[in-house]
């Protein structure tokens, strides 16, 4: 199975309405996606949003990513966000937790907090 994790930080409050619209459309789109095992969303504060999706195959994940509402959202994301990060990795079972996903993404970007540890 393939896990895809994204983190997006919205540039400003004026971008939130279009982001909310694109997110709603993508959420509807993903519920119809072939090969989706599970999806989840997480919010940090007002401007930081995470997604996690688990797919049966990489081909299923790419088919969703490259069409419809999600493709439109990806095209708009550079104007809406000042930070875009993602990581993809394989798992044997779909029981991965949010903290492990966040840690994987932060390690991928070597993100350090002010105390010197991974944030």
pLDDT at 111: 58
Better pLDDT: 111 or 105: 105
Rounded-to-integer distance, Cα 111 and Cα 38, Å: 27
What percent of the chain shows pLDDT beyond 90?
61
Beta strands in 1-119, from DSSP E residues, in sequence order: 2-10, 36-44, 48-55, 81-90
Q: Does pLDDT of 113 surpass 60? A: no
pLDDT at 22: 93
Ordered structural domains, the chain, with CATH: 2-108 (3.30.70.100)
Alpha-carbon separation of residue 67 from 26, 28, 29, 30, 39 (angstroms): 10, 13, 9, 11, 17
pTM listed for this prediction: 0.82
Tokens of 118: 């991974």
The region that residue 75 occupies, defined by phi over 0 for left and psi between -120 and 50 for alpha, beta otherwise, is alpha
Chain segment 19-77, per-residue pLDDT in tens? 999 999 999 989 889 999 999 999 999 999 999 999 999 999 999 999 898 889 989 98
92 phi and psi angles, rounded to 5 deg:
-85, -35
Write the DSSP symbol of residue 75.
H
């Amino acid at each position: 199975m393939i896990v895809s994790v994204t983190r997006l930080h919205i540039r400003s409050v004026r971008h939130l309405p279009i982001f909310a619209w694109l997110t709603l459309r993508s959420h509807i789109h993903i519920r119809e996606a072939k090969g989706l095992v599970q999806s989840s969303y997480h919010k940090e504060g007002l401007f930081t949003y995470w997604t996690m999706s688990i797919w049966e195959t990489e081909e299923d994940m790419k088919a969703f990513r490259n069409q419809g509402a999600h493709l439109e959202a990806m095209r708009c994301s550079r104007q809406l966000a000042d930070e875009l990060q993602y990581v993809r990795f394989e798992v044997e079972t779909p029981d991965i937790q949010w903290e492990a996903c966040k840690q994987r993404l932060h390690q991928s970007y070597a993100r350090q907090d002010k105390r010197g540890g991974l944030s």
